[in-house]
Structure 1
Amino acid sequence: MTSVKEFRVEEPATPERLGRGSFVFTDDYSVFDWGKMPDSIPNKGASLCAMGANNFELLEAEGVPTHYRGVVSGGQVRELDRVGSPPREMAIDLTRVPDLPHEGRRYDYDAFHEAAGENYLVPLEIVFRNRVPVGSSLRSRATPEEVGLDHESWPEDAVDLPDPVVEFSTKFEESDRYLSRAEADRIAGSADLSRLEELARTVNRVVTDRAAEAGLTHEDGKIECLYFRGEVRVADVVGTFDENRFAYDGQQVSKEVIRQYHKRTQTEWIEAVEDAKARAEAEDVADWRTLCAAEPEPLSGHVIDAMRDLYAAGANAYVGMDLFDAPDLADAVETVREL
């Protein structure tokens, strides 16, 4: 189980074959790698399920291999446009996730791949960026010239990139870290790094185009992939308000809204998280949460209501279906703009 969705296993994967199961999307949310937060946001899970299903169907129409089999409605696996109510369950092919042994923050990927064989979830997140906002960690890892910008230093405001930038970060480590291409190649195992990048760029293009049709600007996101007998398939969920960042008329329409709200209203907890992460790195501790001196507070009711409407209205606009009883996207955006 992840912090926001659960697994159902019908047939477990083996070294020789993929299994079958499903994701069940909950209304929980997570920010700053904390895990499950004190609140839930109604309609959030179904919104993510619908967006993810829509994107997988768009990808498969372009011949991109994925682990998606459909959404579950009335006990049947169906295409998204065949359901009458918002789906919460997504049928998928299952791969294997071997243990990743570690001592402190030193991870043994050789042991991971020895157990993985030819059927495993690639232990990487492949990140793509179309825009670099203020505060983005990319600003500390690259110069503007290295990402195609004609600037000697980073602009004070957010900046659009002339071409998308693709990066690789760890997937299963307690504190995610960005990787050099050589290190990412080693961690990917048998999965070809160039193929992973190609898939990320294709997903980015498909999501960007669909977002534009819905009046949204697609800023960045990530994919995860599985490797099975020489083939790389897009896995997990893609192009949702949790995995990606979107904007509408300059306002964020994604989990970033609630992330920034916490930064403004729960400064003590945010500082404790930053201190714990820094201390964990200095002391070679894998799980930084054990060092955190504070916990997040629940959200106010009006914030939960605003986020519920934002997820639902955004999903309606993105998939082009009236799945949810929600305000127009423009109205939902104006409400969260005032939080």
Structure 2
Amino acid sequence: MTSVKEFRVDAEPTASDLGRGRFVFTDQYSVFDWGEMPDHVPNKGASLCTMGAHNFERLSEHDVPTHYAGVYPAGASAGDDPISLEACEEPPTEMAIELTQVPDLPYLGDDEYDYDAYHDAAGENYLIPLEIVFRNTVPAGSSLRSRGTPAEYGLDLASWPDEAVDLPEPVVEFSTKYEEQDRYLSRPEADRIAGVAALDDLEDLALAVNEVLNERAAERGFVHEDGKIECLYHDGTIKVADVVGTFDENRFSYDGQEVSKEVVRQYYKRTDPEWVDAVSEAKSQAREEGVADWRGLCDRSPESLPADVLEAVADLYAAGTNAYTGSAWFDAPDINDAVARARDL
């Protein structure tokens, strides 16, 4: 179980073969790595499933290999085959996927993990324990600003400005996936953690995904700011895994307003700063003490969102999905109205 979608296995993967399974998207959400938050956002799961399926099918049209195998319409029976998104009459909440092996990643203490053990168990059919991050812009507060100067990213600037900056070329970075606190990696460290999967191939795949998402966003009036992919390695082939190009995995904006989970993140920063600070302090304490579970050190819990905020966020996900896909999947306000309401939160 992840914080926003359930994971079900229909056929287990083996050392040599991919298995079959499905994601069941829920209306849960998570910010600041907290896990399940106190509230659920109506129709969020259907929005993410619909938008993810739309993007996977676009990637297939561009010959980008993925683990996507279709979606299940509402009311599908256990033995039914998945279908394309286009064949659905209602927004789906279940996605069919190929499965790979995900071994345990032993924690050694002092922020050290045993990746050798992970790969010894994984062989050549495994989920690569990295997130491959791609960035088209550098917003204010981006962690990328702390890892380099503007000149290092091709910008003719003496220092980082207060406002967001468009990058001349997309930047690709690598971070951990299964560690309790994600961290960005040097290329040599990322190469070691990737196992037999070539880092250059992962970068090329991320750039190909980014290009497809950028093109679609521009067609529909969005700006695709940044995002990530996860990948599996099977018998010499790297495939995009997890879910791609949704308002949870990626940051999109419309008319200068964020249309993503960032809206909720920023709302909590403004209205519940004590909890946000407590999360940061707990993560720091966990690093200092060399323990994996920082949540056990956090002395506060997040407050619930007001009903009007939940409604505005739900409308933003639904209206954004309608606008991005070009289909009226949800009974939702026009994207311009939903964006204007989110701007006032």
TM range (shorter): over 0.9
**Mapped pair 1:290 → 2:299:** no
| 304-313 vs 279-288, greater mean Cα deviation | 279-288
**Mapped pair 1:320 → 2:326:** yes
- In structure 2, runs of 5+ residues without a counterpart are none
Q: 2:144 aligns with which of 132, 138, 143?
A: 138
* SS of equivalent to 1:77: coil
**Mapped pair 1:83 → 2:88:** yes
Q: 2:178 aligns with which of 164, 172, 177?
A: 172
- The residue number in structure 1 matching 2:133 is 127
- The residue number in structure 1 matching 2:23 is 23
- The residue number in structure 2 matching 1:200 is 206
- The residue number in structure 1 matching 2:264 is 258
Counterpart Cα distance in 2 of 1:128 and 1:142: 15
After TM superposition, the structure 1 = structure 2 runs for residues 4-83 of structure 1, keeping only pairs within 5 Å, are 4-73=4-73, 74-75=75-76, 76-83=81-88
Dislocated runs of 4+, deviation >4 Å? none
1:170 CA drift (Å):
0.0
- The residue number in structure 2 matching 1:309 is 315
**Mapped pair 1:113 → 2:100:** no
Q: If the length of structure 1 is used for normalisation, what is the TM-score?
A: 0.99
Q: If the length of structure 2 is used for normalisation, what is the TM-score?
A: 0.97
- The residue number in structure 2 matching 1:213 is 219
Counterpart Cα distance in 2 of 1:178 and 1:252: 24
The aligned amino acid for 1:90 is M
How many pairs are equivalent? 339
The aligned amino acid for 2:18 is L
Give the share of equivalent positions with the same residue, in percent: 67
Q: 1:95 aligns with which of 77, 97, 100?
A: 100
Counterpart Cα distance in 2 of 1:146 and 1:177: 20
1:116 CA drift (Å):
0.4
**Mapped pair 1:337 → 2:343:** yes
* SS of equivalent to 1:304: helix
Counterpart Cα distance in 2 of 1:72 and 1:194: 34
1:299 CA drift (Å):
0.5
Counterpart Cα distance in 1 of 2:287 and 2:158: 32
The aligned amino acid for 1:43 is N
Alignment root-mean-square deviation, CA:
0.7
- Per-residue CA shift, 1:250-294, capped at 9, x if unaligned? 100000000000000001101100110111111111111111010
* SS of equivalent to 2:82: strand
The aligned amino acid for 1:48 is L
